[in-house]
Structure 1
Amino acid sequence: MNQHEFNQLLEKYLAGDCTPDEEKLIHDWQAHLLQNTSLTLEEPEKNGVKKRLWQNIQQTVWMPEAEIVRPRWRWVSWAAAASVVVLAGVFWWNTRRIDVNDVAISPLIETPNGIEVKNTAANPREIKLEDGSIVLLKTNSSVTYPEHFGQKNRSVFLKGEAFFKVKHDPTKPFVVHAGELVTEVLGTSFTVKSYEESQAIEVVVATGRVSVYENSTKKPLQRNGVILTPNQKITFDKTSRKLTPSLIERPVVIHVPSTPSLFVFEETPLPKVLKKLENAYGVQIIVENQTLNQCVFTADLNELPLHTQLDLICKSINATYEQRGTSLFINGEGCK
């Protein structure tokens, strides 16, 4: 009997239409489930677990006959609930039912239940979620999300790579679980790359601010995490469990200039030149040798990428620059 057939049998049992043999099959499954738990349960506790299990199954699996489409998440939610009896026992059932809508922080209850979409095509696949958020799922990747988000947050689970354009909602954080890393936002756009065979997980921010932290049992204030802004990315090494923030390879202008002459300079003091670059790209540029601030710069840097702009600036003032984390540092002897 496959999963679909067993699901139908369960609905038939709840409707009271099973044959004696079919009823015995269901009860044998239930007994096997409770007998194979690693927990020691007294008989009253077993009866309580049994009762809550069937109540949960009935609420999750039962659907009106007129509703023809049966989304996969209903079955998976039920199956997860059943497996939780084996793993967690009485305590879990006496607190509350857990599903994908409630799993924002604690990795002890994070379960990728929901509608799973896989992209095996050569091109990215666009998925629109019920809140208006967009997921651009890359090839050889999958994302799992609920048919309906909960009241506390909007949680999705990613394997592979996807670009997320999240609809702003200050009352419901959007949470992406990708392996051992969690990305949480209210409304922004970013890319998460988390392939199982890869040694690292990467998060790249396009717009807004993103909180990225390790999926850990530690208290919130002790978690290994960072805040990312546009043009920044984070790389998480699965072995060392180290988070390394840096800039993306080709930073883009995030504050569009009101005039096309934003990067045209004529005998402009270096501090003013660098300030314009900082404001445009949202990056920090630090001059380590203060004598460089006496230099002036003349050039048209429009239509050039940030690193090329910095190369030209440094060459003209006899300096060099390097990237450390998410900041850029300029040093040198200075202009003569």
Structure 2
Amino acid sequence: MNQYDFQKTLKKYLAGQHTQEEEDFILDHFKNNPMQEMPVFEDEKAVIGKRIKKKLVANTIGEPLLIRLRPYLAAAASILVVLGFWYFLVKKNAPETIAEMDFSPNDSVIEIKNTSGKSQNIPMEDGSIVILQKNSSISYPEHFGKKNRLVYLHGEAFFQIKRNPAKPFIVSTGTLVTKVLGTSFTIKSYDESASVEVQVKTGRVSVYEGAANNVVNRNGVILTPNQKIVFDKKSKKIELSIIENPMLVIPVSETEHGFTFSEVPVKHVFSALEKSYGIDIVLENDSTDSCLFTGDLNGLSLFQQLDLICQSANITYERRGTALFVQGAGCGD
């Protein structure tokens, strides 16, 4: 049973629309998967607590056994926050969580596993497109809820999201949550991998640690085009950097010189690249002030362009986080 199916079953259980088989499944799950106490609403605790207690009383005799089982009742009540991603926003004045699974129990759950040797295009009902890579899977409701568009990813996929400020698109990998309004980005999150990677192509992306039900966004960053993060699952550390092959964020024609330069100050060439790729290029000293550059940078990647410029001006560059830092002796007198 995938995460959506489980939560649908839990929602039916809370609404009293469950079958005997579904009730047995929920109770067995709570018993075999105890979790730490987390804040939940008292009425929700009461619903689960009363039903489980009723079940226990029906099958046991005597107070001692009930006393021994009370920790189990507490664990069952507290599990809502961990697994009921959708549930806590449906109550008035509930603390806002980043993701709410607000679908109907009658909605179908779509789970797609790409077992082929090539990528698979998946159209969403909102007009978004997901390109699912091989050995990856994605699950989502047939109809998105009223407040967000939540999907679960295992593996790798490229997302091209249709903009909707009123309903953010949220991707949960279990350890990392990515939230956008409308943009394009790639997520790599394989179960066997020690890390999760998010790369942004267009727009702005919010990425933070945790499951989709976190009340507070912890250990998070905002990514812009040509930036990526690598999240270490064990250490919980986020490393922010530039992607391996940055793409243009504005057309070359909108820069002053395009990518063809003739006796142009090197610092102006760097400014053109900075604008074209949306990446900060920091000149750590004035060694390039007297340097001029002549050349055609069209058809080259950003780092090939930088190599050519630096070679001509006797300088070097290095990547630090999401910026490029330029230093060196320069052209001299």
What TM-score comes out, normalization by structure 2 length?
Answer: 0.71
Match for 2:234 among 230, 239, 245?
239
Q: Which residue of 2 aligns with 1:278?
A: 274
2:320 maps to 1:332: no
2:294 maps to 1:298: yes
2:282 maps to 1:289: no
Structure 2 unaligned residues grouped into runs of 5+: 35-45, 53-72, 91-95, 103-107
Match for 1:187 among 182, 186, 209?
182
- For residues 173 and 262 of structure 2, the distance between their equivalents in structure 1, rounded to whole angstroms, comes to 48
Note the 1:1-336 alignment, pairs <5 A. Answer: 30=23, 88-89=76-77, 98=86, 105=98, 114-215=109-210, 220=216, 223-258=218-253, 262-336=258-332
Change in 2 beyond 3 A, CA 1:90/1:294:
closer
Q: Is the 8 A contact 2:115 2:134 kept in 1?
A: yes
SS of the aligned residue for 2:187 comes to strand
Change in 2 beyond 3 A, CA 1:28/1:134:
closer
- For residues 99 and 190 of structure 1, the distance between their equivalents in structure 2, rounded to whole angstroms, comes to 28
SS of the aligned residue for 2:271 comes to helix
- For residues 240 and 201 of structure 1, the distance between their equivalents in structure 2, rounded to whole angstroms, comes to 12
Aligned letter for 2:203? G
- For residues 134 and 284 of structure 1, the distance between their equivalents in structure 2, rounded to whole angstroms, comes to 30
Q: Is the 8 A contact 1:100 1:114 kept in 2?
A: no
- Which deviations, in whole Å up to 9, do the C-alpha atoms of 1:231-275 show, x marking residues without a partner? 111100111111111111111112112379611111111221111
CA RMSD of aligned residues (A): 3.8
Change in 2 beyond 3 A, CA 1:276/1:218:
same
Deviation at 1:278, TM superposition (A): 0.5
- Which deviations, in whole Å up to 9, do the C-alpha atoms of 1:271-295 show, x marking residues without a partner? 2111100010110000112232232
Q: Is the 8 A contact 2:97 2:216 kept in 1?
A: no
SS of the aligned residue for 1:329 comes to strand
SS of the aligned residue for 1:294 comes to coil
Q: Is the 8 A contact 2:185 2:199 kept in 1?
A: yes
- Which deviations, in whole Å up to 9, do the C-alpha atoms of 1:138-175 show, x marking residues without a partner? 00000011111111111110000000000000001111
- For residues 315 and 35 of structure 1, the distance between their equivalents in structure 2, rounded to whole angstroms, comes to 67
Q: Is the 8 A contact 1:101 1:154 kept in 2?
A: no
Change in 2 beyond 3 A, CA 1:28/1:276:
closer
SS of the aligned residue for 1:277 comes to helix
Runs of 4+ in 1 over 3 A off after TM superposition: 26-39, 45-51, 85-93, 96-104, 216-221
Aligned letter for 2:193? S
Change in 2 beyond 3 A, CA 1:303/1:236:
same
Q: Is the 8 A contact 2:30 2:79 kept in 1?
A: no
Aligned letter for 1:120? T
Deviation at 1:177, TM superposition (A): 0.4
Aligned length: 271
Structure 1 unaligned residues grouped into runs of 5+: 15-25, 40-44, 52-84
Aligned letter for 1:294? S
Deviation at 1:328, TM superposition (A): 0.4
Aligned letter for 1:118? K
Deviation at 1:36, TM superposition (A): 8.6
SS of the aligned residue for 1:258 comes to helix
Deviation at 1:185, TM superposition (A): 0.4
